[in-house]
């Protein structure tokens, strides 16, 4: 068996190592266009920021080590030019010598990844404007930084854009982040990104939402970024982080099936439309685990796992890829934002029924030093309670909760399972009622009808005459410090003696700070015969939803 793999980083290197473990006899050829295999592209921003000091640490495995340990035929600086499916051979160009030659295969795995988008903006090819994909890109950016950069512009507020912003600020560079949409971190729902936008502002980052780069012009000092709104930004360095496109040229030229967004189409065994060719990683179209829709999800975890699965299937095993649920996390200036499964906006776009709850607990027992608030948003099926997605933002503990919920989604669990979930607890790690349990309690109470809830956004957006009676059950000082316009304040501890002040002919929407006192108040009013609902997540959720767009 001769296995040929195109692309030697996340998906390709995983496939090669797995293939060797499955067969000592197979001939395995790994062809990689750059000079490196299996390098840590996820670490590049931190190398540029100086957190990772040694470049060599990013090279997880060298070509020599891959040859020695896995007995692989590794060919770096070699690019596959074309695939001849009938003859089962590829044409390879040795980039150092420009020599071209052919190589046959029995099975082929495509792992060419995705290339950063370089939008056709006037001046986009000027010196000082970079994308970041590999070590060579990092070397070029580092050389520019070493020349002395005072001002930088990052275009695109996705995961890589945000990581670059943090690492440029670490160098003391005055940094502006330009984003076309009205929020950072597009996969998340907008209100969940408000704390990230706020912390960018606190760190002195100028965040321009709803803005885009229209042109780049050279200056004696570097560049001017001309904004669509007419503004102009001086910079000595520009990083473009506006997304990636699947490297599908080989597949297109070879006549393989391609998805609507350019990803190579594969079946659940990662087989392309040619049964001798598999494809993995950023280059493929996957099925969204929750929605069942085709999706492009460029993440390292899926690419690595797909590489293993494709190798298994090449060697006669029958292993299914379950789909991708888009579990992702990013850290910015000590804040963490993470997501798994479907977002609210995705569910709305697909017109899929859902309910959602917000909880705002601390990551561990509040009395233990170092407790930090986190916000967790949970989306679930209104009938079965099956978990559809989750997002969290805060400090410590965000990653752990999203990982737990990622597993819960994979296991097909419901909000009722979250109530029962037994998680490790000591005061410095969690709470006896972990934020996961809390989200489960709130969601399960909602579905059981014990805790009628309304979405803050829907109530606030309703025309004044259709709005319910708004009741704030916090203390007078909390109320004075900020409240939802139109609300009446009766603290929860006085509620039982002041029922006469409440209308019986209108729905009453109750809120407190995070939802807990509101829940108790809802129970008191419901049992007293009022039509009462609690505003999920309370005033804190209202504040998230109301946060301004520019750094609000
Ligand atoms: P790649 O890792 O891109 O590898 C594809 C390789 O194929 C490339 O090296 C390319 O040179 C080679 N190639 C392409 N065409 C040919 C050809 N014709 N012939 C020979 N070789 C070819 N993901 C996360 O989950 N978490 C993170 O924190 C994270 N951070 C990231 C930070 C940065 C700066 C970048 C760039 C990406 C990050 N990612 C992260 C994304 C993650 O790195 C990718 O999802 C993952 O590397 C995809 O693996 P892949 O094997 O499909 O493609």
What does the pLDDT read at residue 199?
95
Determine the pLDDT at residue 124: 98
Spatial distance between the Cα atoms of 18 and 91, rounded to a whole number of angstroms:
25
Pocket lining: 36 vs ligand 1, CB cutoff 6 Å? no
Residue 549's pLDDT is what? 36
Q: DSSP assignment, residue 467?
A: P
Strand ranges for 308-408 from DSSP E:
328-332, 335-341, 355-359, 374-380, 387-394
Of 268, 343, 353, residue with least CA distance to 312 = 268
Nearest CA to ligand 1 atom 14: 112
User: What 3-state class would DSSP assign to 274?
Assistant: coil
CB 249 less than 6 A from any atom of ligand 1: no
42 is catalytic: yes
Q: Whose CA is nearest to atom 19 of ligand 1?
A: 79
- The DSSP bridge partners found for residue 206 are 176
Strand order in the sheet with 284-287: 264-265, 284-287, 294-295
The pLDDT assigned to 536 comes to 87
Q: Contact 44/142 with Cβ under 8 angstroms?
A: no
Give the nearest ligand 1 atom to 78 CA: 20
pLDDT of 13 reads 96
**Intervals of the chain under pLDDT 50:** 548-552
Q: What is the helix (H) or strand (E) element at residue 88, kind and residue range? A: none
pLDDT at 460: 86
Task: Say how far apart CA 501 and CA 535 lie, in whole Å.
Answer: 20
Return the structure tokens found at 341: 């499964």
pLDDT of residue 74: 97
pLDDT at 472: 98
Q: State residue 61's pLDDT score.
A: 86
pLDDT of residue 548: 47
**Percentage of the chain lying above the pLDDT 90 cut:** 95
Q: Look at the pTM and tell me if it is higher than 0.85.
A: yes
Cα of 385 to ligand 1 centre, how many Å? 36
Residue nearest ligand 1's atom 12 by CA = 7
What does the alpha-carbon distance between residue 414 and residue 17 come to, in Å, rounded to a whole number?
37
Does the beta carbon of 33 sit less than 6 angstroms from any atom of ligand 1?
A: yes
> Which one of the listed residues 42, 78, 199, 512 is annotated catalytic?
42
Q: Is 330 in the pocket of ligand 1 (CB under 6 A)?
A: no
CA–CA dist 177, 205 (Å, integer) = 7
482 C-beta closer than 6 A to ligand 1 = no
Ligand 1 nearest atom to the CA of residue 34, by list position: 11
Find out whether the beta carbon of 83 lies less than 6 Å from any atom of ligand 1. Answer: no
301 lines ligand 1 (CB under 6 A): yes
State which of 45, 113, 311 you would mutate to test the pocket of ligand 1, scoring each by most atoms of that ligand within 8 A of its C-beta. 113
Q: Which residues contact 477 (CB under 8 A, 6 or more apart)?
A: none
Is the shortest distance between the CB of 113 and ligand 1 below 6 Å? yes
What is the SS3 assignment for 108-128?
A: EEECCCEEECCCCCCCCCCCC
Q: Cα–Cα distance between 61 and 72 in angstroms, integer?
A: 13
Contact in structure between 109 and 5 (CB atoms under 8 Å): yes
Angle 503-508-514 (CA atoms, 0-180°, nearest 5)?
A: 140
Q: At what angle do helices 435-448 and 398-410 cross, to 10 degrees?
A: 50
Q: Whose CA is nearest to atom 32 of ligand 1?
A: 42
Indicate the top mutation candidate among 18, 41, 46, 95 to test ligand 1's pocket, ranked by most ligand atoms within 8 A of CB: 41
Alpha-carbon span 541 to 552, nearest angstrom: 14
Structure tokens at 40: 């840590």
């Amino acid at each position: 068996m001769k296995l040929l793999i195109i692309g030697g980083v996340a998906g390709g290197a995983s496939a090669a190592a797995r293939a060797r473990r499955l067969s000592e006899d197979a001939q395995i050829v790994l062809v990689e266009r750059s000079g490196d295999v299996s390098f840590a592209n996820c670490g590049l921003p931190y190398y540029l920021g100086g957190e990772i000091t040694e470049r060599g640490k990013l090279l997880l495995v060298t070509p020599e080590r891959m040859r020695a340990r896995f007995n692989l035929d590794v060919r770096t600086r070699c690019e596959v030019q074309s695939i001849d499916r009938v003859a089962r051979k590829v044409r390879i160009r040795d980039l150092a010598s420009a020599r071209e030659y052919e190589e046959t295969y029995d099975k082929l795995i495509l792992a060419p990844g995705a290339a950063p988008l370089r939008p056709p903006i006037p001046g986009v090819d000027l010196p000082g404007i970079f994308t970041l994909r590999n070590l060579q890109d990092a070397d070029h950016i580092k050389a520019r930084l070493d020349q002395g950069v005072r001002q930088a512009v990052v275009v695109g507020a996705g995961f890589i854009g945000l990581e670059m912003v943090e690492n440029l600020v670490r160098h003391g560079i005055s940094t502006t982040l330009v984003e076309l949409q009205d929020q950072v971190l597009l996969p998340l729902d907008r209100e969940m990104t408000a704390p990230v936008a706020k912390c960018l502002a606190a760190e002195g980052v100028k965040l321009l939402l709803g803005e885009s780069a229209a042109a780049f012009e050279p200056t004696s000092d570097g560049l001017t970024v001309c904004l669509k709104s007419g503004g102009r930004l001086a910079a000595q360095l520009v990083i473009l982080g506006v997304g990636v496109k699947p490297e599908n040229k080989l597949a297109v030229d070879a006549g393989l099936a391609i998805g609507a967004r350019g990803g190579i189409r594969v079946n659940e065994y990662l087989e392309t439309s040619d049964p001798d060719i598999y494809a993995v990683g950023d280059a493929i179209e996957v099925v969204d685990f929750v929605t069942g829709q085709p999706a492009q999800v460029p993440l390292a975890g899926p690419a690595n796992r797909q590489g293993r699965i494709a190798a298994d299937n090449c060697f006669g095993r029958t292993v299914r890829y379950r789909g991708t649920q888009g579990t992702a996390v990013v850290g910015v200036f000590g804040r963490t934002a993470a997501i798994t499964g479907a977002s609210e906006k995705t569910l709305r776009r697909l017109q899929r029924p859902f309910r959602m709850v917000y909880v705002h607990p601390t990551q561990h027992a509040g009395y233990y030093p170092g407790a930090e608030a986190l916000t967790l948003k949970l989306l679930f099926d209104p009938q079965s309670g099956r978990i559809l997605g989750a997002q969290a933002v805060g400090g410590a503990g965000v990653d752990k909760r999203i990982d737990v919920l990622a597993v819960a989604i994979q296991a097909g669990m419901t909000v009722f399972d979250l109530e029962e979930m037994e998680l490790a607890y000591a005061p410095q790690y969690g709470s006896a009622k972990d934020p996961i349990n809390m989200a489960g309690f709130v969601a399960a109470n909602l579905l059981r009808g014990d805790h009628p809830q309304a979405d803050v956004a829907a109530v606030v957006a309703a025309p004044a005459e259709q709005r319910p009676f708004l009741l704030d059950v916090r203390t007078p000082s909390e109320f004075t410090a900020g409240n939802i316009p139109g609300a009446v304040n009766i603290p929860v501890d006085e509620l039982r003696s002041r029922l006469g002040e409440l209308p019986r002919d209108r729905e009453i929407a109750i809120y407190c700070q995070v939802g807990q006192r509101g829940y108790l108040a809802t129970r008191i009013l419901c049992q007293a015969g009022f039509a009462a609902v609690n505003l999920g997540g309370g005033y804190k959720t209202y504040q998230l939803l109301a946060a301004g767009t520019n750094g609000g």
